[in-house]
Amino acid sequence: MDMEEYLEKRAKKINETIKEYLNDTNSQRYLGKLLGRSGYEYDSEAITKGIIDPANYLLDLGGKRWRPILMLEVLEAFGKNPDDYAEFSIIPEIVHNGTLIHDDIEDNSNTRRGAPAIHVKYGIDVALNLGDFMFYFPMVAVLDSKKLSQETKMKMLTIYQKDMLKISVGQAIDIAWHRNLVDPMSVNEGKYMQMVDAKTGVLSSMAAELGGAIGGADDKTIAALGKFGSSIGIAFQLEDDLLNITKSRLAEKKGGVGDDIQEGKVTMLVIYTLEHSAEADRKRLIQILKSHTDNKEEIAEAIAIIDKYGAKDYTKALAQRLVSDAWKALDQLLPDSEAKKRIKAISEFLVGRTI
Q: What Å distances lie between residue 228 and 89, 201, 216, 263, CA to CA? A: 18, 9, 17, 29
Complete DSSP assignment for 292-331? T---HHHHHHHHHHHHHTTHHHHHHHHHHHHHHHHHHHHH
- For 275-300, write each residue's pLDDT tens digit: 999 999 999 999 999 999 999 999 99
The pLDDT of residue 21 is 85
**Average pLDDT for residues 291-318, to the nearest whole number?**
95
- Following DSSP, what letter does each residue of 224-240 receive, concatenated? HHHHHHHHHHHHHHHHH
AA identity, residue 286: I
Share of the chain above pLDDT 70, in %: 94
Q: What is the mean pLDDT of residues 21-31?
A: 75
Using an 8 Å Cβ cutoff, are 221 and 180 in contact?
no
Query: What does the pLDDT read at residue 251?
Result: 47
Q: What is the per-residue pLDDT for 353?
A: 59
**pLDDT tens digit string along 183-233?**
888 999 999 999 999 999 999 999 999 999 999 999 999 999 999 999 999
Task: Say what the pLDDT of residue 1 is.
Answer: 60
Domains and CATH numbers, the chain: 3-351 (1.10.600.10)
Amino acid at 235: A
Three-state SS at 144:
helix
For the stretch 224-269, pLDDT in tens is 999 999 999 999 999 999 999 986 555 455 556 888 999 888 999 9
Contact at 8 Å (CB) between 228 and 326? Answer: yes
Confidence label for 34 from pLDDT (cuts 50, 70 and 90): confident
pLDDT of 108 higher than 50: yes
The mean pLDDT value of the chain amounts to 91
CB distance 195 to 173 below 8 Å? yes
Mean pLDDT of 151-156: 97
Closest by CA to 91, choosing from 174, 153, 176, 177, is: 153
Got the DSSP string for 244-276? HTSSSHHHHHTTSTTHHHHTT---HHHHHHHHH
Query: pLDDT tens across 64-75, in order?
Result: 899 999 999 999
* CB proximity list for 183: less than 8 A, separation 6 or greater: none
pLDDT of 231: 95
Coil, helix or strand for 111? strand
pTM above 0.85, yes or no: yes
Short-list 140, 262, 159, 245, CA closest to 205:
159
Residue 58 reports pLDDT greater than 80: yes
Q: How far apart are CA 39 and CA 270, in angstroms?
A: 57
Binned at pLDDT 50, 70 and 90, residue 82 comes out as: very high
DSSP state of 352: T
Distance from chain centroid for Cα 50: 23
